[in-house]
Amino acid sequence: MIEITELSKRFGANEVLRGVDLTVRDGEIFAVIGPSGSGKSTLLRIVNLLETPSSGCVRIDGTDIHAADRQISIRRGMGMVFQKPVVFSTTVFENVAAGLRIRGMSEAAIRSRVKEALELIGLADRAEQNARTLSGGEMQRVAVARALVTDPVLLLMDEPTANLDPIATENIEDLIRRINRDYGTTLILTTHDLLQGQRLAHRMGVMIEGGFAQVGTPREIFSEPNTRSVARFVGMEN
Ligand code: ATP
Ligand code: MG
Q: What is the pLDDT of residues 51-100, one digit of tens each?
A: 999 999 999 999 999 987 878 888 888 999 998 888 999 999 999 999 89
* Closest ligand to residue 210's CA: 1
Length of the chain, please? Answer: 238
* Ligand 1 atom closest to 34 (CA): 6
| Average model confidence (pLDDT) across the chain | 92
* Mean pLDDT of all residues in 138-145: 92
Query: For a pocket test of ligand 1, which of 9, 33, 42 has the largest count of ligand atoms closer than 8 A to its C-beta?
Result: 42
Q: Going by C-beta distance under 8 Å and a sequence separation of 6 or more, which residues neighbour residue 203? A: 28, 30, 31, 215, 216, 217, 218
* Ligand 1 atom closest to 12 (CA): 29
Q: How far is the CA of 25 from the centre of ligand 1 (A)?
A: 26
Ion ligand 2, residue ranges at CB < 5 A: 40-41
Q: Going by C-beta distance under 8 Å and a sequence separation of 6 or more, which residues neighbour residue 102? A: none
Q: Which residue minimizes the CA distance to atom 17 of ligand 1?
A: 37
Q: How far is the CA of 4 from the centre of ligand 1 (A)?
A: 19
Report pLDDT for 151: 86
Q: How far is the CA of 24 from the centre of ligand 1 (A)?
A: 22
Q: How far is the CA of 109 from the centre of ligand 2 (A)?
A: 35
Q: pLDDT grade, residue 120 (50/70/90)?
A: confident
Q: Which residue minimizes the CA distance to atom 16 of ligand 1?
A: 16
Q: Going by C-beta distance under 8 Å and a sequence separation of 6 or more, which residues neighbour residue 181? A: none
pLDDT in tens, 13-25: 999 999 999 999 9
Q: Which residue minimizes the CA distance to atom 3 of ligand 1?
A: 36
* Mean pLDDT of all residues in 97-112: 90
Q: Going by C-beta distance under 8 Å and a sequence separation of 6 or more, which residues neighbour residue 77? A: 60, 152, 153, 154
Q: How far is the CA of 41 from the centre of ligand 1 (A)?
A: 7
Q: How far is the CA of 93 from the centre of ligand 1 (A)?
A: 33
Helices 92-101, 107-121: crossing angle, 10 deg rounding: 130
* Ligand 1 atom closest to 159 (CA): 4
Share of the chain above pLDDT 70, in %: 99
pLDDT in tens, 181-228: 998 999 999 998 889 999 999 999 999 999 999 999 999 999 999 999
Report pLDDT for 76: 82
Residues with CB under 6 A from ligand 1: 11, 14, 16, 34, 36-42, 192
Q: pLDDT grade, residue 236 (50/70/90)?
A: low
Query: Does residue 237 register a pLDDT over 70?
Result: no
Cross-strand pairs, 50 = none
Report pLDDT for 105: 87
